Amino acid sequence: MSRRLLIDTDPGIDDALALLLALASPDARIEAITVVAGNVPVDLALANARRILAVAAPSRMPPVARGAEAPLKHPLVTAGHVHGDDGLGNLDRVLEPDGRPRYPEPPTVLETGSAAEVILETVDRWGPELTLVALGPLTNLAAAAALDARRLARVGRVVVMGGAVAVPGNVTPAAEFNFYVDPDAAAQVLGLGLPLELVPLDVTGQVVLAQSVLRERLGRCPDDRVARFVLDFTRHGFAFGADHEGGGIVLHDPLAVAVALAPGLVTLEPMSVEVECDGRLTRGMSVADRRAIPSHRKRPPTCRVAVSVDREAVLRLFLDRLCPASA
């Protein structure tokens, strides 16, 4: 059975890997892609989504919608040091032997409406069949809720990559990047009562892809175009990972897509999670009520949080979809 997905994203190296995972999965049907400012400004996010689709060349091209340019209240913080100036490992600087750009500006794909409107229209169309996968700051989801929270509530599942529950943050000691960029949106979305599954750093940090493993698998991939694309845009990410993340690329966003496709890859625990919006030291912090005595927990759960992950199964699924083992 195909899972209908709407992917909200800010590509981003690991976002690109997540999109390629979804596009390569026969059990996934991407109904729409919406982009948001986060890892890169929104127009770069839009261009990157178009570039990924142009290389992947799916038989059915999903519509792409441009979303929020800035967080609800705070100035935009981006992550060019992690993802490259263009968000995809500086692909604009990759040249063919004759000096031509290897990745020229991609053709325009169908763009329709604002991201918030497209989210609501897609929920209207598919309701409980739809899984909304959020890979960036939650600004677009908050905007959709502001337009019509009741319509948004008809969605079947919401899988969010974000937060750090019992581990340190990755942009400050307290906060994970997506929640830090737009803490107000994260707080609002977690308070909506949606069927939300949170995939935080606690589990994503355990799923690290080694460069040698990726190279070996892609060397057997029948689709040379996609393999070369992945090797080119991940080069910057592996260089960053060698200095900061133990020698690999952490599959934050691919894990969220994997959970959307195969929920059994993680163990989920109901929790009340709130987000600190204004703290000088704690902006974007995920505050989960994990007190041992149940009577001390005053708020009902706001989501289900992934607390453990089958790391090997995730890596196997990711590599098998990106480049089947039989290749």
Which run of H or E residues covers position 308? strand 303-309
265 neighbors 259 (Cβ within 8 angstroms): yes
Catalytic: 83? no
Q: Around 150, how many Cα atoms within 13 Å sit in the side-chain half-sphere?
A: 0
The stretch 280-303 carries a mean pLDDT of: 87
Q: What is the CA radius of gyration of the chain?
A: 19
Q: What is the mean pLDDT of the chain?
A: 93
pLDDT band at 191; cut points 50, 70, 90: very high
Residues above pLDDT 70, as percent of the chain? 94
Show contacts of 112-116: CB within 8 Å, 24+ apart: 112/63, 112/65, 113/65, 114/65, 114/66, 114/67, 114/143, 115/8, 115/34, 115/35, 115/36, 115/65, 115/66, 115/67, 115/68, 115/140, 115/143, 115/144, 116/67, 116/140, 116/143, 116/144, 116/146, 116/147
Angle at which helices 42-56 and 224-244 cross, to 10°: 140
73-123: per-residue pLDDT in tens? 999 999 998 999 999 999 988 888 888 888 877 766 556 679 999 999 999
Environment class of residue 294 by beta-carbon count within 10 Å: exposed (0-12), middle (13-18) or buried (19+)? exposed
Q: Catalytic residue among 74, 83, 252, 296, which?
A: 252
Report the pLDDT value the prediction gives residue 21, as an integer from 0 to 100.
98
pLDDT band at 168; cut points 50, 70, 90: very high
CA of 295: how far to CAs of 165, 289, 305, in Å? 20, 11, 20
pLDDT band at 291; cut points 50, 70, 90: confident
What is the C-alpha to C-alpha distance for residues 48 and 250, in angstroms, rounded to an integer?
A: 20
What is the C-alpha to C-alpha distance for residues 239 and 252, in angstroms, rounded to an integer?
A: 17
What is the C-alpha to C-alpha distance for residues 276 and 259, in angstroms, rounded to an integer?
A: 26
Report the pLDDT value the prediction gives residue 92, as an integer from 0 to 100.
84
Report the pLDDT value the prediction gives residue 323, as an integer from 0 to 100.
87
CA 270 to chain centre: 21
Please determine, for residue 244, whether its predicted confidence score (pLDDT) is greater than 80: no
- The string of DSSP letters for 103-152 reads SPPPPPPPEEEEHHHHHHHHHHHHGGGEEEEE-S-THHHHHHHHHHHHHH
Domain ranges for the chain, please list them: 3-322
Environment class of residue 142 by beta-carbon count within 10 Å: exposed (0-12), middle (13-18) or buried (19+)? buried
CATH 3.90.1150.10 correct for 3-322: no
124-164: per-residue pLDDT in tens? 999 999 999 999 999 999 999 999 999 999 999 999 999 99
Report the pLDDT value the prediction gives residue 96, as an integer from 0 to 100.
86
pLDDT band at 32; cut points 50, 70, 90: very high
